[in-house]
Amino acid sequence: METRKNYCKPSGERATGLKNNIFFEARLRLASYYVVVIALLLAIFSTFLYFSYAKNVQNDIEGDFPDGQAQAVIVSKTTDRLQEQLIIVDAVVVLFVGGFGYWLAGKTLKPIQKALDSQKRFIADASHELRTPLTILKTDLEVALRAETGTDEHSAILTSNLEEVERMRRIVEDLLMLSRIDNNQEILQFSKTDIASLMQKSVERMKKYAESRNVYVLVSAEEPVYVLGDPDKLQQALSNILKNAIDYSKDEGEVHFSLTRTDRQANVVIEDNGIGISAEDLTHIFDRFYRADKSRSHRQGGSGLGLSIVKWVIQKHRGNISIQSSPDKGTKLTINLPLFKTAHF
């Protein structure tokens, strides 16, 4: 029996509320830093003042005392009174700093929030505006290629233009998705999903692309293996990592796409024998717009967005993703997803 859980797009009020929550958390965190710093300084100053004053009182207090014990009592009461006063003053100062720090943090973060909101709106609006003309260009180029008129040179130019338009279309689609992710508006619909079937579909989808790159994709999958997931998002993630492996494979290279299962999780492994990634680049491989081999990335169509989307998708499915690589030896990417019977959302 299929189980489905829908995570719907937030309304305008909810999306605004989520933004405000993020801003509130950042503001509260910054204010807490102010309080901690001031509290530490007060503690150091008060401790120094207390011991210095207590020493001076003990040395300078004068009077007729029946014995040393009476003098010690007076000194103790005086220092205790100072201690109480210091604690009260420090508490008042900390409370004041807390309120003032919260206000100051809001003033500090407000320009940053406006800049981020403006950047997100620009990315979303620009992506929407680019989507239509790119679709028209792609359609016109496909029609022109199907026509039998023209020379081989013209066909080659049209083919190259079509590839660039398709590359731009993918970038625009990725930017739109990242914009929805940033605004907590991406739709997720979870159901019982056969990950092996999604792998096969990804291979079929990328078959011609792999052939054009002279790369062989070898698939090994236990069937069926069910997870609780969003089929469309998982399909997109699998296609992204498969395309990435194909892009960075050597000529006549091989990409091994395998699936195994344990008692609690499904394990997807994508391994290639391509150019590999350096240890320095591995730490940034999931960052947006980061490309390990910048000299080859444009020719291969990479934008540096695919793996950041993959990571988001896997995390939303309560899974893990890891990557191992060595220059000139290849890359191995592993995805672990909880099986359908063990998944809890």
Which residues have a catalytic role annotated?
128
The three-class DSSP label of residue 213 is coil
**Buried/exposed 39-64: b ≥16 CB within 10 Å, e otherwise:** beebeeebeeeeeeebeeeeeeeeee
**To the nearest 5 percent, what fractions of the chain are helix, strand and coil?**
60, 15, 20
Sheet holding 330-338: strands in order across?
216-221, 254-261, 265-272, 330-338, 320-326
- List all residues 6 or more positions away from 14 whose beta carbon is below 8 Å from its beta carbon: none
> Does an H or E element contain 118, and which?
helix 68-146
How far is Cα 272 from Cα 51, in angstroms, rounded to an integer?
68
Burial of 207 (0-12, 13-18, 19+ CB in 10 A): exposed
- For the four alpha carbons of 145, 150, 153 and 158, in that order, the dihedral sign comes to negative
**Nearest Cα to 222, choosing from 255, 247, 196?**
196
